[in-house]
Amino acid sequence: MNPRLALLLGSLYIAQGLPSGFFAHALPVLLRQEGVSLALVSLAKLLALPWFFKFLWAPYVDRLGSGRPNHYRSWILALQSVGLLVLASWSLLQPAHWFSEHLLWFLLAALLVNTCLATQDIATDALAVKLLPVAQRGLGNSLQVAGYKLGMLAGGNGLLILMASIGLQEGFRWLAAGLLLLMIPVLLFREPPSTPLPDTKPRQRPLWREWQPLLALPGMRLWLPVLLSYKVADSLASGMIRPLLVDAGFTLERVGQVGMAASIAGLLAAFGGGLCERWLGGWRALFWFGLLQAAGLAAWSLVPLGWHSDSAVYGIAVFEQMADAMSTVALFAGMMGFCRTGHEGGDYTLQMSLFMLVSGSVGLAGGVLAELLGAPLFFLTCGGLGLFCLGWVVRALRISAPGSRDLPA
């Protein structure tokens, strides 16, 4: 892969992961420490609503500026600048104010940041689909997953560790400085012009008609059930892992250290997953990586049963994150295979939105189900659900043409 392209895509996905890491990893821990119930902690996932519905405005990102130089680059710079300003504003007040009398303003600002990140992701994914040759998409998605996980590591687990010495207010300043630094590769990038779409404005017709040609692509009937179900079990369980560690007596710093080790392992596994995906083929990679993912989720049931030692917790966390990274690479590579030329941003975004809408909706029930079943049975249930959902991948493997291992290109 071209080193400049790798640097560009890596910086973009790291930039998206920085604030996302805070929302997904640090904020639930802070809320649980304040005594918030698991059910309410899981409702913090509602801040990610823009990620679920970004397909509604994805055609605008593809069409507005289509055919001009630096089409997607202009979108990315504007949106990342807004996120930078919001993070900088959070550093002006002590966290105690944000989580008390200014909580509503904090949540609204968080929603704005997620809207900018979700829209930036449309443009970033479009660039990736547009610039990556088919043979490099597995490696490109390894870079995507690794970059995003690196950003989440710094904004989530890294921030939890730093809080012990610098505090959350200073942490927001570091996040803002990180976003500013990551804008440099984007500023230096010059995007080549592409063929303009027939209309430079979204057509005045029902939105669903924009997606009819995509949904009619060969193989979509096999792919859609996999897309919607593949990460459901992971979404149900992931929001409860850090509250589980808090309940097991882990300090903020220790939770951050476990997450840091697991995230680093996930970064390495993401690149390994890209190489294995190319070797195994798309469908087989989805099956084997999904099998590992289900086993990793079920393994968390051992912690509330008394497996509190560092070696046990670190081992479970590392294994689960490695399986998560590899399965995510395989899923995202498959999504790239179902994108039409000239509609990369919209097509990829629709798939991502459908995937996140289903998985995120299920994830909202994680706290309620964990309190109802208890932690050991909850994580075993999640592992079993992951195995059940692999049935769609097995069906696709059986129906695919003999000798065919790959998803559409």
199 occurs within a structural domain: no
Q: How many CB atoms lie within 10 A of CB 154?
A: 21
231 occurs within a structural domain: yes
Residue 409's pLDDT band (cuts 50, 70, 90):
very low
17 alpha carbon, distance to own chain's centre: 8
Average pLDDT over residues 211-218: 74
Spatial separation of the C-alpha atoms in residues 19 and 117, rounded to whole Å: 9
Residue 200's pLDDT band (cuts 50, 70, 90):
very low
| Mean pLDDT, the chain, whole residue set | 80
Min mean pLDDT across 52-61, 83-92, 116-125 is at 52-61
223 occurs within a structural domain: yes
Tokens (6 digits) for 209: 């008609």
Spatial separation of the C-alpha atoms in residues 247 and 245, rounded to whole Å: 5
What's the structural domain count of the chain?
1
Tell me the percentage of the chain whose pLDDT exceeds 70. 84
208 occurs within a structural domain: no
**Is residue 44 a contact partner of residue 175, using CB atoms and an 8 Å limit?**
no
Q: Which domain holds residue 225?
A: 3-193+217-399
Min mean pLDDT across 133-147, 216-230, 265-279 is at 133-147
16 occurs within a structural domain: yes
- pLDDT tens digits for range 322-347: 998 888 888 888 887 777 776 767 78
Average pLDDT over residues 202-226: 70
Burial of 172 (0-12, 13-18, 19+ CB in 10 A): buried
Return the exposure string of 44-78: e unless at least 16 CB atoms fall within 10 Å of the residue's CB, then b.
bbebbbbbbebbebbbbbbbebbeeebbbbebbbe
Q: What is the DSSP string of 177-194?
A: HHHHHHTHHHHH--PPP-
Spatial separation of the C-alpha atoms in residues 393 and 396, rounded to whole Å: 5
404 occurs within a structural domain: no
What pLDDT was estimated at residue 407?
A: 54
27 occurs within a structural domain: yes
202 occurs within a structural domain: no
What pLDDT was estimated at residue 388?
A: 92
What pLDDT was estimated at residue 132?
A: 76
CATH of the domain at 290: 1.20.1250.20
